[in-house]
Amino acid sequence: MTIPENHPQGTQLLKLEILIVGAGIAGLTAAACCLEKGFNVTVLEYAPQFAHVGAGLMISCNASRVLVDLGLQAALDEVGTHMKRTLFVKHDSGQSISETSYAGVEEELGAPLYQIHRADLHDVLLAKAKSLGVKLIMGAVVTEFNDAGPSVKLVDGTVYCADVVVAADGYRSRARGQLLAGNSEPRFSGNAAYRGLVPRNLIEGDAELEALMDVKDQPGSHVWVGAGRHVLCYGIRQGEFLNFVATQPAVHTSGSVYTAKVSTQEVLDSYRGWDPLMLRVISNIPEGSILEWKLCDIAPMDTWLLPGEKVVLIGDAAHAMLPSAAQGAGMGIEDGAALAEILSRARDYSEIPHCLKAFERLRLPRCTQVVDTGRQNAKKWHAKGCCQASKF
């Protein structure tokens, strides 16, 4: 079936009931976009309250265009940085290997290229969804997806029904587990990321470290690359913090352990012999704040739809990817916009399965390719003497 571009004159937009499981980046984007289309949207969030987890991430033009269309550019400009370059340097000397400039990219592509704290992006999307009238239910633990309804069942026995159920429940998705009959564990890359933030006040007076936090003249990423590992730094929150991410073989995260606290000294020992400038960054990360995050992605799936074709996976639930793809949040944002757009073209409730299959045909190949790009980038960056930047 071909989804019509517009409703024929005289037909009325279906007032769909959309139920979204998960209030992360993908879930909130889908909520805001569906609300903009005139749908009723309920979001069920597992956590009893939101925590400002995560650190910096990049939102490239393909995804920021969606956010701009939602009217969010002013809010994002207040908390995000417009990225201008990525500088790759040798791990031990800090000598430049290559530089990728993004000068003119925003003008050419018509949308911003942001570096932003995940929590700030989440806050902006949450405020937008609330302003549009989303019904948000916190502490809602979903235990079962019923694709025939469609509906979901909570741990307390409560059942929520809708016309469409959107599973945006993250890379350890219960919906994906149900779709794949329990065989849904993320694919472990063998690597982990040390993540930490350096407050500006701890490095004031150190001109070299302050330059890494530049958000005015040449904002961007500084990447040290060595065999089997790389380290990424850039300023976020308008230069309030320096974001630090180091990727290397996992030490404390294996099996069912996905995060673990790591001491500053352990990270320093792990990078002994690297550029002294980068080691000063590590030394200034407050003790007890560094976490080791297990890095996983999702093996490509044949379908994102449960058998009844009224429950669809989006975001990390469908296509979690490695940070080296630099598109994890971006693909989730694209998902939300595409899903709302395609559903808005349904003229009858019987067309919902056709719409969701059209969404899958549009999105699954693209996201599968980006997942693979993330794996290939990690291999290139960690190969000794090899360094290439991702193309945005």
Q: What is the CA radius of gyration of the chain?
A: 21
Q: How confident is the model at residue 2 (pLDDT cuts 50, 70, 90)?
A: very low
Q: How confident is the model at residue 390 (pLDDT cuts 50, 70, 90)?
A: very low
Q: In whole angstroms, give the CA distance from residue 179 to residue 310.
A: 13
Residue type, 376: Q
3-state secondary structure of 296: strand
- The answer to whether 314 touches 362, Cβ cutoff 8 Å, is no
Task: State the pLDDT at residue 13.
Answer: 77
Q: In whole angstroms, give the CA distance from residue 200 to residue 209.
A: 9
Q: In whole angstroms, give the CA distance from residue 16 to residue 250.
A: 45
Is the pLDDT score of 217 beyond 80? no
pLDDT single digits (tens) 275-290: 999 999 999 999 999 9
Q: What is the 3-state secondary structure (H, E, C) of 24-38?
A: CHHHHHHHHHHHHCC
- What whole-number percentage of the chain has pLDDT above 90? 73
pLDDT single digits (tens) 336-384: 999 999 999 999 999 999 999 999 999 999 999 999 998 888 777 666 5
Q: Which residue is associated with the tokens 């929150």?
A: 237
Task: State the pLDDT at residue 360.
Answer: 98
Task: State the pLDDT at residue 9.
Answer: 42
- What whole-number percentage of the chain has pLDDT above 70? 93
Task: State the pLDDT at residue 384.
Answer: 53
Task: State the pLDDT at residue 255.
Answer: 86
Task: State the pLDDT at residue 389.
Answer: 41
pLDDT single digits (tens) 135-185: 999 999 999 999 988 999 999 999 999 999 999 999 889 999 999 887 678
Task: State the pLDDT at residue 96.
Answer: 92
Is the pLDDT score of 246 beyond 70? yes
Please name which of 200, 215, 146, 209 lies closest in space to residue 174, comparing C-alpha atoms.
146
How far lies 336's CA from each of 70, 147, 331, in Å?
12, 20, 9
Q: How confident is the model at residue 188 (pLDDT cuts 50, 70, 90)?
A: very high
What secondary structure does DSSP assign to 210-273, as a single string?
Answer: HHHT--SSS-EEEEEEETTEEEEEEEETTTTEEEEEEEEE-SS--TT--EEE--HHHHHHHTTT
pLDDT single digits (tens) 73-113: 999 999 998 888 899 999 999 999 999 888 888 889 989 99
**∠ Cα 53 286 378 (to 5°):** 60
- Calculate the average pLDDT of the chain: 90
Is the pLDDT score of 226 beyond 80? yes
Q: In whole angstroms, give the CA distance from residue 165 to residue 168.
A: 9
Q: In whole angstroms, give the CA distance from residue 18 to residue 41.
A: 5
Q: In whole angstroms, give the CA distance from residue 236 to residue 196.
A: 12
**Tokens at 258, concatenated:** 């996905």
3-state secondary structure of 293: strand
Q: How confident is the model at residue 220 (pLDDT cuts 50, 70, 90)?
A: confident
What secondary structure does DSSP assign to 51-109, as a single string?
Answer: -----EEEE-HHHHHHHHHTT-HHHHHHH-EE--EEEEEETTT--EEEEEE-TTHHHHH
Check residues 52 and 199 and name the one with the higher pLDDT: 199
Q: What pTM was estimated for this model as a whole?
A: 0.91
Q: How confident is the model at residue 12 (pLDDT cuts 50, 70, 90)?
A: low
Q: In whole angstroms, give the CA distance from residue 374 to residue 61.
A: 18
Peptide bond into 276 cis (omega under 30): no
